[in-house]
Structure 1
Amino acid sequence: MKQLDEFEVEFIEYTGLAMQADGLPKIAGRIFGLLIISDDLLSFSSIAETLQVSRGSVSTNTRLLESLGIARRVSLMGERQDYFRLPDNPYSSLIEGFAGRTRNYLRALDKTLNKAPEDSFAWKRLKNHKTFYETAQSNSELLIKELKEIL
């Protein structure tokens, strides 16, 4: 992989910090940032070397990014190692993951609401909490549709 320009290094670091602020490992964010700016397939080795991290860290965090739908593993015939690239539309994949988790949470929240007395303080708070997640869910669906249309 070519030497990174200063703006690329800054972007990779900003992406790492942003994803860390969202509760993900900083290295996962750094790998995601690297995938965003790379026009080539990236091997484990090139990711580790470029970011100056261990291959084990690359392995752990690329699996995480794959599970989020924002990294794609690619095998090349005759090659022993895997390569990674950014999927065609990783941004809708991120929101789809959030939307799926939100749907599951809303089902669990409904079970709790059905057991709570409707005149209780907890029920009122749970109802507001549910409204928040229902709004997030419906807006996520709209965002997914829009992202698929424009990207």
Structure 2
Amino acid sequence: MSAHPEISALECFIERVGLSIESDGLPRIAGRMLGFMVLNGGPVSFSELSERLQVSRASVCTNARILSSLGVIERVSRPGDRQDYYQLAESPYARLISGYLERKRQMYAIVQDALGALSSDDDPARRQRLEEMAAFYRVAIAHLQRLVEEMSASGTGTGAVPDAR
């Protein structure tokens, strides 16, 4: 057993978040950075992130841009310091879901455009596949919108407590 079990548990959390994020198609380092930011909040410099996560500063920079574009972290500055710092964004999970919702709306619009471009004598199987895709996005958008509203109503940006199974 480690002399500092809380450290190994925290490191385990960071690694597991990295693996989970990786399974969603994002870089594992982005997930590890997210895990670190959840535990530490910030602000934290590129140098500190690089050192604590044992990755290059370039990797920190690349993955910070990814997490920032998702609305999960934000860049902050300190007076008189030229380094970039990042911290966990306010309501990061609500912002993450809102971004996901927006991407689903964009996809729905693409499908609607394709359906509108079909002629009446077009392949019925093609139309059916597009209509099924449109139905999927309509349902997904409705559920995501409700989730965003629930998270906003909770006032915490975290929504309901998930099932801990």
After superposition, what is the alpha-carbon deviation per residue over 1:44-97, rounded to whole angstroms, capped at 9, x for unaligned? Answer: 111000000000000010011000000011100011101111112000111111
1:122 aligns to what? 126
Return the index of the structure with the highest Cα Rg.
2
Match of 2:93 in 1: 91
Q: CA distance change for structure 1 residues 39 and 91 in 2, over 3 Å: closer, same or farther?
A: closer
Residues 115 and 130, structure 2, Cα contact 8 Å, conserved in 1: yes
User: Quick one: distance in 1 between partners of 2:89 and 2:110?
Assistant: 31
1:101 matches 2:68? no
After the TM superposition, which segments of 4 or more aligned residues of structure 1 sit over 2 Å from their partners?
115-119
Do the aligned residues in 2 keep the contact of 1:89 with 1:148 (CA within 8 Å)?
A: no
Q: Show the 5 A alignment for 1:1-151.
A: 5-116=7-118, 117=120, 120-150=124-154, 151=156
In the TM superposition, what is the alpha-carbon distance from 1:111 to its structure 2 partner?
A: 1.1
Aligned residues of 2:41 and 2:88 also touching (Cα < 8 A): no
| CA 1:77–1:66: 2 relative to 1, 3 Å | same
Q: Distance in 2 between matches of 1:40 and 1:69?
A: 15
Measured after TM superposition, the shift of residue 113 of structure 1 is 1.1
Question: TM-score scaled by structure 2?
Answer: 0.85
TM-score by length of 1: 0.93
